[in-house]
Chain A
Amino acid sequence: NAGVTQTPKFRVLKTGQSMTLLCAQDMNHEYMYWYRQDPGMGLRLIHYSVGEGTTAKGEVPDGYNVSRLKKQNFLLGLESAAPSQTSVYFCASSYLGGFYNEQFFGPGTRLTVL
């Protein structure tokens, strides 16, 4: 099992460009999440999904869109990148939500917006 994988690992964008980050999990998990981590801060939830075809906003959703067309994939899109979106992005998945819900994280994508 590969667990949670993220593509790409690194990316540099210019302000205004768009891109999509791909997260894939092979654990048949229902729940998937996108977080961002900025220097000196903890991870903050951007969007999450409780199942195929569903998405919901997290703590910091502005400037991002997501889609969950397949159970194993969760895509994070930036339509018009801004320097404030320079961050490390982590995807995670879990079998269920609620109690005793351990989230499994991918290795992260380091995004720089110039």
Chain B
Amino acid sequence: DQQVKQNSPSLSVQEGRISILNCDYTNSMFDYFLWYKKYPAEGPTFLISISSIKDKNEDGRFTVFLNKSAKHLSLHIVPSQPGDSAVYFCAPRRNNDMRFGAGTRLTVKP
């Protein structure tokens, strides 16, 4: 029962370019969508989120887009920096039920 899919296990981009990480979900009951970032040997840390009543939320270099009709969200990082290299998880949720995608490993090359 994979309700959340991140179809790209890995992504490599050049420093300064845009990174686009994608996430698809199947459960239309999700009403809040979060992105978490994880470095090796650490727990995930919250990055950015979006409510289902919005289609875009921006926080500095990070922007999340939500397309409810397509059940798709994406995370844009502009400009990408080497310190952004990590695993990114999308995590849609409804109440206490938060489901995580398998993650996308982003590598930003100097």
Residues of A within 8 A of B (CB): 4, 31, 35, 40-45, 48, 50, 56, 59, 90, 92, 97-108
| B99 contacts across to A, CB distance below 8 A | 42, 59
Whether B43 contacts A105 by the Cβ 8 Å rule is yes
Whether B45 contacts A105 by the Cβ 8 Å rule is yes
Size of chain B's interface in residues, with CB distance under 8 A? Answer: 27
Give B42's nearest chain A residue, CB to CB: A107
* Contact with A98, one of B46, B49, B95 (Cβ below 8 angstroms): B95
Query: Of B13-21, B68-76, B100-108, which stretch is located at the interface?
Result: B100-108
Bound form: Cα–Cα A71–B103 in Å? 31
Whether A43 contacts B100 by the Cβ 8 Å rule is yes
Bound form: Cα–Cα A44–B1 in Å? 12
Minimum CB–CB distance from A16 to chain B (whole Å) comes to: 29
| A4 contacts across to B, CB distance below 8 A | 43
| B43 contacts across to A, CB distance below 8 A | 4, 90, 92, 105-108
Q: Is the interface of A mostly helix, strand, loop or mixed?
A: loop
Number of A-B contacts (CB under 8 A): 58
Whether B102 contacts A41 by the Cβ 8 Å rule is yes
| B41 contacts across to A, CB distance below 8 A | 107-108
* Contact with B100, one of A44, A50, A100, A104 (Cβ below 8 angstroms): A44
Say whether B32 faces chain A, with CB atoms less than 8 Å apart.
Answer: yes
Minimum CB–CB distance from A88 to chain B (whole Å) comes to: 10
Bound form: Cα–Cα A98–B95 in Å? 5
Bound form: Cα–Cα A31–B90 in Å? 21
Bound form: Cα–Cα A4–B32 in Å? 23
Whether B96 contacts A97 by the Cβ 8 Å rule is yes
Bound form: Cα–Cα A73–B107 in Å? 36
Give B4's nearest chain A residue, CB to CB: A42
Closest 8 CB pairs of A and B: A42-B100, A105-B43, A43-B100, A102-B46, A105-B44, A42-B101, A42-B102, A97-B96
